[in-house]
Every structure is written in C-alpha cells, then in structure tokens.
Amino acid sequence: MGIVFNSSNFHSDRASKGRVLVAGGAGFLGSHLCDILLREGRTVICVDNFFTGRLENIRHLLRYETFSYVRHDIIESIDLPVDEIYNLACPASPPHYQANPIHTMKTNVIGSLNLLQLAAHYQARIFQASTSEVYGDPNVHPQPEGYWGNVNSFGPRSCYDEGKRCAETLFYDFHKQHGVDIRIVRIFNTYGPRMRPDDGRVVSNFIMQALQGKDITVYGDGSQTRSFCYVDDLIEGFHRLMYSPRAIHTPVNIGNPGEFTVRELAEQIVAMTGSSSKIVYHPLPVDDPRQRRPDISLAERELGWKPTIALKEGLQATIAYFERQLVRPSGELAEVA
C-alpha cells in the first residue's frame, strides 16, 4: 500500500530522483495522469484538497509503493523535493468553481505561484493545466493559440477564466525571470470515466439524466457547439508535451476538433442509453460561449499528436462507468444529484 501523508507532517529527505508531484491528482484528469506515471515507474505524490477530487479515484493506486497522497490546499505553500510538477488543481466545472469564486481565484493565482516557487527552488519542470476558457466567448473560430481571447473580467465565470489567464502569465514570468522549465496545455472540453456524477458538466449531466430517465436539460436552444475530447487522448497529449524532445514553452491547445451542437450530444446520449428521457430547454447561463473548437495544428506539428477516439467510442466507455456508479449491489439504481 502507498504511504498516506497529511500536510502537517509531510516532508521528506528522500532522494528526489524521478519524483513527480501531481496537484489535483485525485480529480478526474489528475487520477488518469497518476495512473500513467505510475505505470511508467515514476514516484508520484498526489497533492489534493479533495474539494472535487475523490479518494475512490486514487484508491486503486495505493497498492503502488511509489504512490502517496497528501491532503493539502495549494493556496498554502508546500515544500517537497521533486523533479516534476503537474498543476491540475482547480475545480473545473462551473457549479464547483463558482461555489467559492474567491477560493477559485486564489487557487489559480496563489496556488500556481506556490507551485512555481517550488519548481524554481528544486529546478523542477512544471506543467500547467490551462483551459480553452482563456479564449472566452471567441470571435475567432477555431481557436489557435495566438488568439488572445474575448473574456469578461467581471462576471460569474471570471474567477476561473481570468484566474487561468493570470496563471499562464505567472508561468511566462517564472520562465523569463527565473528560467523555470514550463509546459502549458490549453485543455478543451474533456470527458470520460471518473468525472463526478454531480459534476455539472454537459457530458456527465446528460448521461446521468438519461440513465435516470430524467429530463435532459439543454441550456439555450442547443445550437451552441462544443468539441469533446476523450480523457485517454488528452493524457497522451499531456505526456507528449511534457517529455517532447524539443521544449515548448508556449501554450499548446489539446482537444478534439470534432464539433457537435449540444443538442446533437443530447440526442446521441439518449439514443446510446436507450433512455426515455425528454430533452427540455432552459435559459442560457451568463457568458456561455457560443462556439468552441481547438485549432490543434501546433500539437500535430510539434508533438505528432491528434485525438484517436471517436465521440461514440468515448461515450460508450463513459456511459458504462456511470452505469457502474449508479447500480447498487442490489441491482437497483441509486439516486445521484
């Protein structure tokens, strides 16, 4: 079993060779990243405050001697000798990041600052999970990395969007001022097993509603488009960027350029689950982007990366995961959010 630390006593003088800190490692994406790093024989320390992360996402990793986790909030400083840092710590879904917007901003700004200081101190390479939200409601379509975005600094999504933009700036400045070896991925909508059933993101919402026979709630008229990347493709992109032979110190879009309307997604999920759910329409939330699609030419050219998993295939795996979450040992469906 892995060693379980808590932040008050966690400090180690062990040789730091090959030690990777994954902030947000108990979350949806972070836990998949930990899987890969451990399979490759790395020593992984997951640092998480468990706000949206769950122990069940990492329980299977406790059998690795090379895995440990620490309950810690990255807005507090941390001192661990490490060689690499992945910063995925931040709630990603609007209901969660809007629940305490000041804390979300602190996580993105003070949390990133703390991890960058750690990277500078131990000369560790550091990776930032940024987001397509830095493009806001884009006027350019699809979005290349050179597009500066159309972001509202004064609204309910701003704590996340502007927080992530500020984090990118901090990464830039630590690279320029202290020579820190940075990598930045701008993640576009990603889905897959280990999303929370109550996550509030479109794929998990629709699947949960379909499986429970509830109305499928589409915001707006459903004509807004999104691109959906399956988690395995995304993590492969992380890996290629972090370990690419030529260091890329500028942001790189990783996402699936296949574009679907939200209504199409709802219809596909209803069909695949064989659900009797009806699609119902609610008012669009404030600042909801109309269109989102990554331009991935940089990732294709520099990393030889492009997504390989089609929406239908990814949805099958994700639906199967949520079915397992819902079915109690008795075989009954459990009510989730």
Ligand X SMILES: NC(=O)c1ccc[n+]([C@@H]2O[C@H](COP(=O)([O-])OP(=O)(O)OC[C@H]3O[C@@H](n4cnc5c(N)ncnc54)[C@H](O)[C@@H]3O)[C@@H](O)[C@H]2O)c1
Q: Determine which residue in the list 2, 24, 136, 314 makes contact with ligand X, applying CB under 6 A.
A: 24
Q: Cα(294)–Cα(236) distance, rounded to whole angstroms?
A: 16
**Interaction of residue 48 with ligand X, rule CB under 6 A:** yes
Q: Determine which residue in the list 53, 136, 237, 289 makes contact with ligand X, applying CB under 6 A.
A: 53
Give yes or no for a contact between 119 and 126, defined as CB atoms under 8 angstroms apart: yes
**Interaction of residue 105 with ligand X, rule CB under 6 A:** no
Q: Is 236 helix (H, G, I), strand (E, B) or coil?
A: helix
Nearer to ligand X, 119 or 275 (CB): 119
Which parts of 212-251 fold into alpha helices (H)?
231-242
Please give the angle made by the CA atoms of 121, 125 and 44, to the nearest 5 degrees: 95
User: Which span sits near ligand X by CB under 6 A: 23-31, 265-273, 304-312, 316-324?
Assistant: 23-31
Nearer to ligand X, 48 or 162 (CB): 48
Q: Taking the mean position of all CA atoms in its chain, how far away is CA 322?
A: 18
Using CA atoms, how far residue 284 sits from 63, 100, 190, 230, 270, in Å, is 45, 21, 21, 25, 21
**Interaction of residue 116 with ligand X, rule CB under 6 A:** no
Nearer to ligand X, 171 or 275 (CB): 171
Using CA atoms, how far residue 9 sits from 4, 55, 89, in Å, is 11, 20, 21
86 is annotated as an active-site residue: no
User: Which span sits near ligand X by CB under 6 A: 26-34, 114-122, 219-227, 264-272?
Assistant: 26-34
Q: Determine which residue in the list 5, 10, 51, 206 makes contact with ligand X, applying CB under 6 A.
A: 51
The token pair that represents 122 in the structure block:
């131990």
Identify the active-site residue in 64, 86, 160, 230.
Answer: 160
Q: Which residues contact ligand X by CB under 6 A? A: 23-24, 26-30, 48-53, 73-75, 88-92, 107, 111, 129, 131, 187, 189-190
The residues annotated with a catalytic role in the active site are 160
